[in-house]
Amino acid sequence: MTTGNNSRCGFVAIVGRPNVGKSTLLNALVGEKVSIVSAKPHTTRHRVLGVLNNDADQVVFLDTPGLQSDRKHALHRFMAKTISQVLAEADITLMVIEAGRFSRQDKQLAELLRDNAERTILVLNKIDMVKAKSDLLPILKSVAVDFPFAAFVPISARGRKNLGGLLAEILSRLPEGSPLYPREMVTDRNLNFRISEIIREKLLIALHQEVPYGLTVEVEHVGKQRHDQVLIHAIVWIQRDSHKAITIGKGGSVLKAVGSEARLELIELLGERVHLELWVKVRENWADSERELKRLGFDLGT
């Protein structure tokens, strides 16, 4: 959608509380997996950029961590700061909620967005979980009174329902401008980041309780082992020694399964055979140390 011969281009922030489907929505809109997905809260820790080219127009989506209420740890403060920075640079904001409910956390976020309501689209995700579309009306009426958002769009990111309607709303509000990124570019994240996130996603799925929140993945080496095989060395950092055995599993079963699942996805990403080696190491309280976060690749800014 363009105005005359002018193309449109701008930044679109995707925000919401944990587990409303922000990363699933980003991947569905871009048409490629650029942000990892799991049922665990706070799966997304960084700002993840995804680029969609639509004819002459370009939409630059910015996925964000779930809304942070806990600011005790350096990692949580980093995630909260990431949300604020993304909102500051966005031309349009997609506030994603679960269709059929508007929680206390949703209301808190809506309050933060009130001054920019005219540039905010409320996205009601997971409409396939709602029995009747009429069930959405009371929520929409209630929210519309308190928060005059620019538009309300029901979708299913997983089921890819009404994504065209959402995109039309976005494009109609984007500022005119030339594309910011090359058309072949899907994300600004480098290969090591994408590899580490894929491994972390498989760990999040495999592990339970508090272990996933105290781990991160650092890719130490990516290179060719043979002419047709990529060799990857990665370290799984955990905060507590007591979690090491859980992460590795009896006889290495958990780590082997995680490595196998990650390797399959890495083959798809890289288009080559992959040999993946994982090690689990303890670095106590890494998530509460700004120095450790920087060392592990978290961009803390100033």
Give pTM, 2 decimals: 0.90
Q: What topology does CATH give the domain 191-295? A: GMP Synthetase; Chain A, domain 3 (3.30.300)
Neighbours of 22 (CB within 10 A): 30
pLDDT of residue 80: 83
The sign of the torsion formed by the CA atoms of 7, 11, 17, 23 equals: positive
Residues in the chain: 302
Query: Bridge-partner residues for 156, per DSSP?
Result: 161
pLDDT of residue 277: 97
| CA nearest neighbour of 60 among 200, 138, 174 | 174
Q: What is the CATH number of domain 9-173?
A: 3.40.50.300
Cα 18 from Cα 246, distance rounded (Å) = 25
- Alpha-carbon torsion angle 58, 170, 38, 49, nearest 10: 30
What are the extents of the domains in the chain? 9-173, 191-295
Per residue of the chain (302 residues), give pLDDT as tens. Answer: 444 458 999 999 999 998 899 999 999 999 999 999 988 877 888 889 999 999 899 999 999 888 766 666 788 788 888 888 898 899 999 999 998 888 899 999 999 899 899 999 999 999 988 877 777 888 888 888 888 999 999 999 999 999 999 999 999 999 999 999 999 999 999 999 999 999 999 999 999 766 777 899 999 999 988 778 999 999 999 998 989 999 999 999 999 999 999 999 999 999 999 999 999 999 988 888 888 888 887 876 64
Distance of CA 269 to the CA centre of its chain: 17
